[in-house]
Structure 1
Amino acid sequence: MSGRPSGEFGLIEWIRGRRPRLGPDQGVEGDIGDDCATVRFRDTAAIVTTDMLMDGRHFLLDRDGPEAAGYKAMGVNISDIAAMCGSPRFAVVAVALPRGEAEAIGRGLDAGLRRMADRFGVALVGGDTNAWDGPLVVSVTMMGDPHPLGSPSRAGARVGDVILVTGPLGGSLLRGRHLRPEPRIREAQAIRPALNPTAMIDLSDGLSSDLGHILDESGGLGAVLDESAIPVHADAVALAAEDGVSPVMHALNDGEDFELCFTVPPEAASRLVPGVTLHRVGEIVAEPGICLRAADGRATPLRRGGFDHFRRGR
């Protein structure tokens, strides 16, 4: 094949040839070419997540290239594992490649997937490869080990809990940061024993939207966010200068920051977590809905913004 794949099975063989041979020491039995991968976990429990990314919705193939698409596709799944304070271990990838350039796109996609996976020690153990006359679609399913102390869900927030986030928010589209997720695996695994979070989520759709998921899952609670405490990314400030939307609104609604948002009991909120910067942004209240509190103490209702796949546009 002179080093290049030929057709679907040639591409699969090329991908297989670029993978290190995995064995029992890595928890893998069999090979990537089987109908299913057989993996072993240290404990009986496992955490599993999946995300599908589509050209024109999550990336622009013509502008960003297939490697960036693959890097993001793997990264958003690792970020989901971080939101459960887990350790990512195995991934399977299913792709629908544009027929005319399937092999070239497949090679680039593989490079991005592998680059992100290698950063976090994730083994790509299988998947499915197709070609069609539509745009690039890539779906990653990831499996990991839960934290030994257990994985926080979205459903455990309580009235009085403090809301924290791990980094500045907003403007991720401006300079392509949405294509370069930085999964907070290390931060989550430090936070879990130090603060015992009651609920946690990664910020993929925007703080106002993702915090809303915690509120809904926790029995219809509410939140008050302090406007002056929202950490605003420099990209949000730059974007605000272009479109006239305030930097804090970008921080609340833009999404794809992939920071962590979590809640802790008030007595834990002041504890330091070595090597982790945290921002206290508000508290959980009994009254449903989210309010934004200004510096003068006035609170106004905040409509949930953020990303919604069923809305048109980004």
Structure 2
Amino acid sequence: MAGMELDFVEWLRQRMPKSSQVRIGIGDDAALLTLSRPELVATADLLIDGVHFLTAEHPPEAIGYKALAVNLSDLAAMAAKPAGALVSLALPRDGAGGLTPSELAKRLFDGMLPLAEEFGSPIVGGDTNVHAGPLVVSVTALGEPTGRGVVRRDGARPGDVLLVTGELGGSLAGKHLGFTPRVTEALTLHQTVELQAMMDLSDGLSLDLARLCKASGVGAVVEAAAVPISAAASALAMTTGDLPLKHALSDGEDFELLLSVSPDDADRLLSDTPPGCRLIAIGKVVASEGVTLRQPDGTMEPLLTSGYEHR
């Protein structure tokens, strides 16, 4: 393993673009980053073959892309600017998908590197090993708050308007491997208005909205007719027999942003949406606990908190 790891580290080091923030990067015992602020935002995700992806079906580049993208989505949820990432791989001893461990590792990073460069998140270190189990990819992303600080999920207030940044549902049809983390949108919106609360939709709108409401000590009313349903969700509904709305509420792995803003700020954003952003109003925050779904005919029903479950 030692020889493979040394060769792989050198292969990766030569492919990393230069960054003014990285004083010491790959190749030393630890990385050294230059940060513009005294605070650091950190997040980590562990992705496992058979749970978050399938090496028998999904290209390694797509797996690598997703592993980094889900972490950048977490930074976006707090309106943090990416600063770098650490990547650790547990590679199957016999390889996967017809690839040797070394080939698999290189192709995983081939999927990550363009995304890392696009969002200013250089890969500055990590670890690589082989074992008798499935492929495991662990990514830790580091970010910096802007001058306005971070946005948390516990600041929603009664009367706020709930917005999402895109269509929902059906992500397992393919989007979950190739979504764009909403980093740019988050930073732009944070600069434009005061975001009361925000989170990324990783487990489904119904479940994640319930989490935001619980953290904020509030409830919400969601307008069923306003929920943006993806074409993939509508197509999936034709095979499952469920309503497209159910898929939009519960499929998970959308990685859009859910945000809570004041009515005035919502009006401002919806009437003059910042370039590069898409926003859809889906409901309002209320004082009473619980999340309710209002149907087009005005009937109200509890919104069941179901979503994507890792098995």
User: Shorter-chain TM-score: which interval?
Assistant: over 0.9
1:152 and 1:200 in contact (8 A); partners too: yes
CA deviation vs aligned residue, 1:163-208 (integer Å, no higher than 9, x gap): 100111000112x111012111221122113231100001111111
CA deviation vs aligned residue, 1:73-131 (integer Å, no higher than 9, x gap): 01111111111112112001011001112111111111011122122121110001011
Q: 1:179 aligns with which of 142, 167, 177?
A: 177
Deviation of the 1:31 alpha carbon: 3.5
- Alignment match, 1:40: 34
Task: Report 1:98-247 matches (<5 A).
Answer: 98-101=92-95, 102-174=101-173, 176-219=174-217, 221-247=218-244
Greater shift in the superposed pair: 8-17 or 41-50:
8-17
Q: 1:193 to 1:119 in 2, by over 3 A?
A: closer
**Matched residue of 2:94: which SS?**
helix
- Alignment match, 1:303: 304
Aligned residues: 301
Measure the CA separation in 2 of the matches of 1:232 and 1:39: 41
Measure the CA separation in 2 of the matches of 1:170 and 1:200: 19
1:69 and 1:112 in contact (8 A); partners too: yes
1:86 and 1:147 in contact (8 A); partners too: yes
The AA in structure 2 aligned to 1:244 is G
- Alignment match, 1:54: 48
Measure the CA separation in 1 of the matches of 2:53 and 2:188: 31
Instruction: Indicate yes or no: 2:15 matched with 1:18.
Output: yes
Gaps of 5+ in 1: none
Deviation of the 1:222 alpha carbon: 1.2
Task: Report 1:245-284 matches (<5 A).
Answer: 245-271=242-268, 272-275=272-275, 276-284=277-285
- Counting aligned pairs with the same residue, the percent is 47
Deviation of the 1:159 alpha carbon: 1.1
The AA in structure 2 aligned to 1:98 is P
Measure the CA separation in 2 of the matches of 1:252 and 1:88: 29
> What is the root-mean-square deviation of aligned Cα atoms in Å?
1.4
CA deviation vs aligned residue, 1:198-257 (integer Å, no higher than 9, x gap): 0000111111111111111112x2111000000001111111111111111101111111
Measure the CA separation in 2 of the matches of 1:59 and 1:223: 33
**Matched residue of 2:172: which SS?**
coil
Gaps of 5+ in 2: 96-100
Deviation of the 1:17 alpha carbon: 2.4
The AA in structure 2 aligned to 1:279 is I
The AA in structure 2 aligned to 1:185 is V
Deviation of the 1:11 alpha carbon: 1.9
Measure the CA separation in 1 of the matches of 2:206 and 2:193: 23
1:70 and 1:109 in contact (8 A); partners too: yes
1:204 and 1:257 in contact (8 A); partners too: yes
The AA in structure 1 aligned to 2:8 is L
Q: 1:285 to 1:178 in 2, by over 3 A?
A: same
1:98 and 1:131 in contact (8 A); partners too: yes
**Matched residue of 1:126: which SS?**
strand
Deviation of the 1:6 alpha carbon: 4.8
Measure the CA separation in 1 of the matches of 2:67 and 2:240: 28
Measure the CA separation in 2 of the matches of 1:186 and 1:21: 21
- Alignment match, 1:92: 86
Deviation of the 1:21 alpha carbon: 4.9
Greater shift in the superposed pair: 184-193 or 86-95:
184-193
2:9 and 2:26 in contact (8 A); partners too: no
User: TM-score, normalization: structure 2?
Assistant: 0.93
2:189 and 2:274 in contact (8 A); partners too: no
Measure the CA separation in 1 of the matches of 2:156 and 2:18: 43
Measure the CA separation in 2 of the matches of 1:6 and 1:67: 23
Measure the CA separation in 1 of the matches of 2:18 and 2:263: 48
Instruction: Indicate yes or no: 2:60 matched with 1:66.
Output: yes
The AA in structure 2 aligned to 1:197 is L
**Matched residue of 1:217: which SS?**
helix
